[in-house]
Amino acid sequence: MTAWRIAVSVLACMLAAALPWALRLWRERRWGLPTRITVDPDNPSAEALVDYFATVARRLDERPERMRLVIDGRTTAHRALTLDFQPDGRMCACVEGDAPVRFSLRRRWIPDHPVPLDLRSCRLWIEPVDANRFRVMDSVPFCVPGTVYALCALVATAGVVFFSPECLAIAIGLAVGCLTSRTIR
């Protein structure tokens, strides 16, 4: 009987730890199909990146919606691709070894990502804020309410008091899953 309870406890712990990850993946899928941008491996061009971003801005003007933007520049590993912001609010696309190309989206791009942004292999999440601006994030916002941790503590306490390893395993697994799904991108 003890081996059965240990097996159930381990399974419950693993399933509880996987639950926040499943919720996060489900939330990522709700952002729609990704728009893919593939950078030319032989001749990466900052002008092409600027054109891609202008096209994305026009698409958001026509139909404001959440979108995933996947930039694939892994084949240009020998040259850095970056996106930076100037103090005057203009953006700057840079390909290592070439002159930077400055462009303006009229303060529409609200960066919620590290600056400068490395574009060699990048996944961006774009969410319209109002009719003219959009927030750009490098990960899906995933917030775990504090009451979940309070509930985990309550269930863990009940598991200790009533000698129930299943309750304790579920509480620990859920807490660990929530913590790791928030911090790993």
Tens of pLDDT along 57-99? 888 888 888 888 888 776 655 778 888 888 887 889 988 888 8
> Hey, what amino acid is at 85?
F
* Chain centroid to CA 34: 13
How far is 120 from 81, CA to CA, in rounded Å?
6
In order of 2, 168, 173, the CA distances from 8 in angstroms are 10, 11, 13
- Of residues 83, 82, 35, the one with CA closest to residue 60: 35
Asked if pLDDT for residue 183 goes beyond 70, the answer is no
| CA neighbours closer than 13 Å in the CB half-sphere of residue 101 | 14
Q: What is the pLDDT of residue 139?
A: 79
Asked if pLDDT for residue 184 goes beyond 70, the answer is no
pTM of the full structure: 0.68
Q: What is the pLDDT of residue 167?
A: 87
Residue 108 phi/psi, 5-degree rounding, is -90, -30
pLDDT tens-digit profile of 26-48? 877 777 777 888 787 777 888 88
**The tokens of 82 are what?**
């970056």
3-state secondary structure of 123: strand
Top mean-pLDDT range of 6-10, 75-79, 138-142:
6-10
Q: What is the pLDDT of residue 151?
A: 87
Burial (CB count within 10 angstroms: exposed 0-12, middle 13-18, buried 19+), residue 134: buried
Q: Which residue has the higher pLDDT, 154 or 145?
A: 154
Q: What is the pLDDT of residue 76?
A: 57
**The tokens of 54 are what?**
């202008």
The proportion of the chain whose per-residue pLDDT surpasses 70, expressed as a percent, equals: 94
In order of 35, 127, 149, 156, 164, the CA distances from 161 in angstroms are 52, 46, 18, 9, 8
Region 136-161: mean pLDDT is 84
